[in-house]
Amino acid sequence: MAITDFMGSDGFIWFAGVVEDREDPLKLGRVRVRAVGYHTENKEDLPTEDLPWAHPLLPITSSGVSGLGQTPLGLVEGSWVIGFFRDAKFKQDAVVMGSLPGKPFYTGAEDKQRGLGFSDPNGAYPRDKDESDVNRLARNDEDNEHLRLTLRKSERSAYLNIPTTTIMSVPTPTEGSGDFGFKWTDASEGDVWSLPENTHNTLYPHGHVYETESGHIMEFDDTKEAARILLYHRSGSEMEITDKGTKNTLNKDSTYTITEKDKKVYIKGNSDLTIRGRHKIIINADGEADNNYDIQVGPNANVNIQCDKGDINLTSLDGNLNMFSNNDLNMWVGGTWNVKAGQIIETSQSTTTRKAAGLYHTFGGPIDHN
């Protein structure tokens, strides 16, 4: 038997309408749409719950099978849509092809107060009236800035003048005399750095924006000399790549990173790390052989370690503590220099000189000066 009743056999019946419900019990992405000319705006005659469900039409980049591709979600109550009826005769099987942005006359709250159809029953959307439905970030109107952009700009003030290390003075022996006098020389002067200023400067129509209801944002900006990529979380955490390729990352909470294999980092310029809390490093946690912790500093640079107030402790629990200097080893102790060892062996390749400002005591049994 030939099939004569199928979609397309009886013409193409399309419609424009407003989404009034998206809580699909089957979770298929369907929405209830009140279609202009086919449904009345009187909600007493035709309540929202009696409207037929309309299926979304996905692009070819989404398979529509087994959750592959993009989920068929995004429309909200109050969205204007264009679609067609697969059953031209009864008009109960609708398909939504896309949404239709505009410039609303009323807010969702005002529509809800009016109590008519073709509006969001919850009163949430549209959020603004007499304003384009295109995202403010994409329009970038000078007199109507996006609230998230305003917030992102103001938050920059919390990340200004972050200090780097300042190594004060270090003692070095005076030249010439053998009186072991010391002079103090500056080691390393610190500076400050700040989170770069916000570079959002979109020029319509080159900004491509995706924003969710809760405030998550993705931006792909193709504006000349202001091209950017932004991934923004409603908490304020963000990752932005500027037109010059600068990558700015701001985390409003903790950051956890796990790498199952190797990690290589190459920094061609400078690196600064400022930590307000503690900092701990454990190397070779599994105790494998030859997993050393190596630090190599190239020529013409110093290694400076400074503790502003507190102790510096070096401990070797099961091994030697070795120090080697191809030139001088200088030590200056403002208090008492205490040394306790199982045995002390000193070997000088030339003259050995010791000088005490007060008494000089040597105890031993016996004492051999040969």
Query: Which residues share a beta bridge with 167?
Result: 188
Instruction: Tell me the one-letter amino acid at 28.
Output: L
Task: Categorize the per-residue pLDDT at 175 as very low, low, confident or very high, splitting at 50, 70 and 90.
Answer: low
Q: Would 18 be classed as within a structural domain?
A: yes
Tokens of 285: 């946690």
Q: Would 268 be classed as within a structural domain?
A: no
Q: Would 265 be classed as within a structural domain?
A: no
Where is pLDDT greater, at 11 or 131?
A: 131
C-beta of residue 53 within 8 angstroms of C-beta of residue 118: no
Task: Categorize the per-residue pLDDT at 3 as very low, low, confident or very high, splitting at 50, 70 and 90.
Answer: low
Give yes or no for residue 137 having a pLDDT over 60: yes
Number of H helices, E strands in the chain: 3, 14
Amino acid 298: pLDDT: 94
* Selection from 118, 125, 142 nearest residue 76 by Cα: 125
Amino acid 362: pLDDT: 86
The CA distances from residue 64 to 26, 79, 95, 338, in Å, are 15, 22, 14, 77
Task: Categorize the per-residue pLDDT at 186 as very low, low, confident or very high, splitting at 50, 70 and 90.
Answer: confident
CATH number for the domain harbouring residue 240? 3.10.450.190
**Average model confidence (pLDDT) for the chain?**
92
The CA distances from residue 36 to 40, 82, 120, 141, 228, in Å, are 8, 10, 15, 32, 40
Where is pLDDT greater, at 356 or 121?
A: 121
Amino acid 66: pLDDT: 95
Give yes or no for residue 103 having a pLDDT over 70: yes
- Kindly give the pairing relationship between strand 238-241 and strand 228-232: antiparallel
My answer on whether omega of the bond before 126 falls inside 30° of 0, hence cis, is yes
Amino acid 121: pLDDT: 96
d(CA 239, CA 218): 10
User: Residue 160, class by beta-carbon neighbours within 10 Å (0-12 exposed, 13-18 middle, 19+ buried)?
Assistant: exposed
* Selection from 146, 128, 235 nearest residue 198 by Cα: 146
Amino acid 172: pLDDT: 77
Q: Are residues 69 and 104 in the same domain?
A: yes
| Whole-number percent of the chain with pLDDT over 70 | 96
Phi and psi dihedrals of 162, rounded to 5? -75, 125
Q: Would 313 be classed as within a structural domain?
A: no
Q: Are residues 71 and 147 in the same domain?
A: no
Q: Would 275 be classed as within a structural domain?
A: no
Amino acid 116: pLDDT: 94
Q: Are residues 122 and 7 in the same domain?
A: yes
- Kindly give the pairing relationship between strand 94-99 and strand 207-211: unpaired
pLDDT in tens, 329-338: 888 888 999 9
Q: Would 215 be classed as within a structural domain?
A: yes
pLDDT in tens, 299-324: 999 898 999 999 999 999 999 999 99
Its domain, for residue 165, covers 161-193
My answer on whether omega of the bond before 205 falls inside 30° of 0, hence cis, is yes
Amino acid 356: pLDDT: 83
Q: Are residues 172 and 154 in the same domain?
A: no
- Give the total number of structural domains in the chain: 3
* Selection from 143, 141, 155 nearest residue 207 by Cα: 141
Dihedral of alpha carbons 222, 226, 232, 234, sign:
negative
The CA distances from residue 327 to 25, 265, 324, 330, 333, in Å, are 80, 33, 9, 10, 20
Q: Are residues 188 and 212 in the same domain?
A: no
Among the candidates 209, 235, 250, a domain finishes at: 250
Q: Would 62 be classed as within a structural domain?
A: yes
Residue located via tokens 């009743």: 5
d(CA 18, CA 21): 9
Task: Categorize the per-residue pLDDT at 208 as very low, low, confident or very high, splitting at 50, 70 and 90.
Answer: very high
What's the rounded mean pLDDT across residues 115-141?
96
Q: Are residues 103 and 30 in the same domain?
A: yes
Q: Would 282 be classed as within a structural domain?
A: no
DSSP state of 50: G
Give yes or no for residue 176 having a pLDDT over 80: no
pTM tops 0.75, yes or no: yes
